[in-house]
Amino acid sequence: MTDRYVLVDTDAGVDDALALLTIAQHAGAEIVGVGTVFGNCTERQAARNALTVLSVAGMRDVPVCVGQSRPGPPPATSSPHGLDGLGDRGYRPPPGVGPAPESAVDQLLRVAQDRPGAVDLLCLGPLANIAAAVTRDPRILTRFRSVTIMGGMGPVSRREVEAAEQPQFLEKGDTNTNHDPVAARVVAAAPGQITWVGMSVTGRLRLAWADLVARSAVGKTATFVRDITEDYHRYCTGTYRSEDPIYTAHDSVAAAVMLDPTVMLSATDAQPRVYHDEDGRAAVWGVSPVRGPAHRFVTDLDYRSIGARITATLDADPPGSDPTG
């Protein structure tokens, strides 16, 4: 029985791939569409990546729509996700499979109009597509059952606590917002049932690389995830200063919150606001008192439950899967 109809907006990098697989593995979820945006790679490469990941999950009929391009020059530093966003391992969609003709923004508007209150929107990349849709229909986000955003840094009142408990927290930054702070500002002012799953909570789940390697010895899904995460896990291990090799799953954490809100142990209502630090990097923080639409900011999660969901995803080998290399 389907209990979640999900529209995913993504820049289709390594952790986005695991998030898509996590949703696909959930028995009660149906992905009704995917929109792609720049971020970990270009929006067109992200579409190819999404089609590749969906084929690994045995899903060939999900429309993948290309969205907004980057408004400025690409970042000066290379992405830990590789040039192609999937670790440069040569994965590609099956022959004859390509993006749908509809744009990602038009897809957002259409789904919200055709199925009001029935679809959950999961945002895993920069918010350019979402902002473009909000600009055309300021109340569009109220027409989704829920909106979950992998982004932000949490409530600003917890800034010093998080910085002390996670020394790399501020250094890592709010990547999705930093790619397009103008779009984040538009979405921050929009009404709707909007939940920000920020770096303050997603970065706390650190998965053992050795466990993924062991699981890849017996499963096609885990093998695919291991392959695309090979370089990314080294980046994660260094960034989080871990003694043992790890990888992170920021987007899968957000997906788990969307699929099962009971994994939220605590959250607070606040007003999203885009701030820039002394180096010019942008981040969304939740501020109080609220003057305008209140959004929810997650502050703690049931990481054991989320970890178990990811493990189940890695161990699942759906019929018809095609990890094309």
CA dihedral 64, 99, 14, 262 (to 10 degrees): 0
Does residue 272 lie in a domain region? Answer: yes
Residue-level pLDDT at 212: 98
Residue-level pLDDT at 323: 59
- How far is 168 from 150, CA to CA, in rounded Å? 18
Residue-level pLDDT at 322: 66
Residue-level pLDDT at 91: 96
What is residue 155's DSSP assignment? B
Q: Which of 179, 233, 250, 295 is catalytic?
A: 250
Does residue 273 lie in a domain region? Answer: yes
- How far is 159 from 218, CA to CA, in rounded Å? 42
Give me the number of domains the chain comprises: 1
**Can you point out the beta strands (E) in the chain?**
4-10, 29-36, 64-66, 119-123, 146-150, 194-197, 206-208, 246-248, 264-276, 282-287, 295-301
- C-beta separation of 150 from 254 below 8 A: yes
Does residue 187 lie in a domain region? Answer: yes
Q: What pTM was estimated for this model as a whole?
A: 0.96
Active site residue 88: no
Does residue 86 lie in a domain region? Answer: yes
Does residue 70 lie in a domain region? Answer: yes
Active site residue 279: no
Domain that includes residue 121, residue range: 4-315
Q: Which of 11, 15, 106, 180 is catalytic?
A: 11
Residue 114's CB: how many other CB atoms inside 10 A? Answer: 11
Angle of helix 128-136 relative to helix 104-114, nearest 10 degrees, comes to 50
Residue-level pLDDT at 279: 85
- How far is 211 from 48, CA to CA, in rounded Å? 28
Does residue 60 lie in a domain region? Answer: yes
Does residue 323 lie in a domain region? Answer: no
Number of helices (H), then strands (E), in the chain: 13, 11
* Residue 249: CATH number of its domain: 3.90.245.10
Could you tell me which of 249, 243, 215, 244 has the C-alpha nearest to residue 229?
A: 249
Does residue 216 lie in a domain region? Answer: yes
Helix (H, G, I), strand (E, B) or coil at 297: strand
Residue-level pLDDT, tens digit, the chain, 325 residues:
788 999 999 999 999 999 999 999 999 999 999 999 999 999 999 999 999 999 999 999 999 999 999 987 777 677 899 999 999 999 999 999 999 999 999 999 999 999 999 999 999 999 999 999 999 999 999 999 999 999 999 999 999 999 999 888 888 889 999 999 999 999 999 999 999 999 999 999 999 999 999 999 999 999 999 999 999 999 999 999 999 999 999 999 999 999 999 999 999 999 999 999 988 899 999 999 888 789 999 999 999 999 999 999 999 987 666 655 5
Identify the burial level of 83 via C-beta atoms within 10 angstroms of its C-beta, where 0-12 means exposed, 13-18 middle and 19 or more buried.
Answer: exposed
Phi (first) and psi of residue 101, to 5 degrees = -75, -25
